[in-house]
Amino acid sequence: MLTCNETVVQSAVAFVLKGYPRLSETFIAQEILALEQRGLDILIVSLRQPTDSRRHLIHEEIEARVLYLPEFPASEPVRVLKAWWWGRRQPNYRSARNQWFRDLRRDLSLARARSFTQSLVLAHEAPTQLSSLHAHYIHTPASVTRYAAMVLGLPWSCSAHARDIWTAPDWDKKEKLDDLEWLVTCTDIGQKHLANLARDPQRVELVYHGLDFDRFPRPNRREAAPDGGSKDSLVSIISVGRAVEKKGYGCLLDALARLPKQLHWRFVHIGDGALLPALKCQAEKLHIDDRITWMGAQPQDKVIESYRAADMFALANCVAHDGDMDGLPNVMMEAQSQGLACVSTRLSAIPELIEDGVTGVLVPPDDEHALSSALERVISDPALRARLGEAGLGRVREKFSHVQGVDQLAVKFGLAKTRNRIRA
């Protein structure tokens, strides 16, 4: 942990994250490690302390230093006061503070209120050789990054993903897009939305996360081909995702409960989340709780092991009441990399990965009847599962390797476009 000024040999880039490490953000950890392997000196800046009790193996491989900012000013008043006293003497302090005041008047929220305090601590405690800042997510992390960059007089950039794109107000996104040097986002639909808001659309580029296929190698071919016709031919359905509204688990449970009683299946869920207790109660009321295994959050090696033990994958993504929705869930790429047929919804960027009837099955969101019918068809037809799984495996390996995305980022960070230091 880095808590004071520190001089480094080469210029560094601060990656500002909402929390680190996070089990649900392996795509960010994968990117950080890959850029480290290309030679980028990274300082990880986390707005929150870690909350997950476990870590992925990839987090142990990352060498970047981590600076944890005070989540609340009252939690570390000495750090905050030192940063404020230092910051108010900086030539750009007043313009950064005034920008924060303007933003706060339009967005009177706790996150916005504390973002300037965090930005001052970041600016004060950052290494002297810091050359730029990069935010992951265009909402709160980008706000902290923007204010800190203004105080330091440094350029900044951003990676936008899903919730941040669809829930941040347009005025906020527009102003940040005008202020930053460049932005990448991981879906075509997100790229088009942000480019339409930007004064210079060329600043917004599509960069898929992709997968590191050294970590997700080809699976062994499955010998068994269960069809759900008996207990000895039970079909295992896996889903990986946080128990939050946009993942659609309530709809998925309703769809599972509608399956014919004579069909034999088991549902395995990996992930934590605030809705987990309610989902377990829902499963009990639907009388399907005895067919469900709730595994909670798991490290990546256990997730891969669970993919390989399953017969198919399901995720019922939807739009949450606050407008939040997924972009292109990485877990679908992971499932396809293990040859699993995927059943999901025709929403956001999911059709960028899954072609209905070719590499998976898509149904309208929030339609438990259509979802149940799709699940029944894929459960009871092992030949269909095999065909969809093989096609999905081929497509994800051809189009969604992380190497291409890291190549694009390497150029933006001024690194050599070479692959000899990264897993291909």
- pLDDT in the model for residue 416: 67
pTM tops 0.95, yes or no = no
Contact 310, 234 (CB under 8 A): no
Residue 38 CB: number of other CB atoms within 10 A? 20
323-374, pLDDT tens digit by residue? 999 999 999 999 999 999 999 999 999 999 999 999 999 999 999 999 999 9
What's the token pair of residue 240? 């990986």
The position carrying tokens 């990986």 is 240
Residue 379 and residue 73: Cα distance in Å, rounded? 53
Sign of CA dihedral 101, 106, 318, 266: positive
Residues 6+ apart with CB under 8 A from 196: none
Residue 284 and residue 294: Cα distance in Å, rounded? 13
Max alpha carbon distance in the chain (Å)?
74
- pLDDT in the model for residue 7: 36
- pLDDT in the model for residue 74: 93
Contact 250, 256 (CB under 8 A): no
Helix, strand, or coil (residue 173): helix
DSSP state of 158: E
Residue 355 and residue 361: Cα distance in Å, rounded? 7
Q: Please state the φ and ψ torsions of residue 318, each to the nearest 5 degrees.
A: -150, 175
- pLDDT in the model for residue 424: 27
Residue 369 and residue 203: Cα distance in Å, rounded? 42
Give pLDDT < 70 ranges for the chain: 1-10, 416-424
Residue 416 CB: number of other CB atoms within 10 A? 11
Residue 294 CB: number of other CB atoms within 10 A? 16
Contact 252, 316 (CB under 8 A): yes
Sign of CA dihedral 292, 314, 17, 141: negative
Q: Which domains are delineated in the chain?
A: 12-210+401-412 (3.40.50.2000), 231-399 (3.40.50.2000)
Contact 157, 412 (CB under 8 A): yes
- pLDDT in the model for residue 5: 40
Contact 24, 89 (CB under 8 A): no
Measured CA to CA in angstroms, residue 27 lies from 56, 330, 422 at distances of 11, 8, 15
Which helix (H) or strand (E) segment holds residue 133: the answer is: strand 130-136
- pLDDT in the model for residue 417: 56
Beta strands in 21-79 (DSSP E): 42-46, 65-68
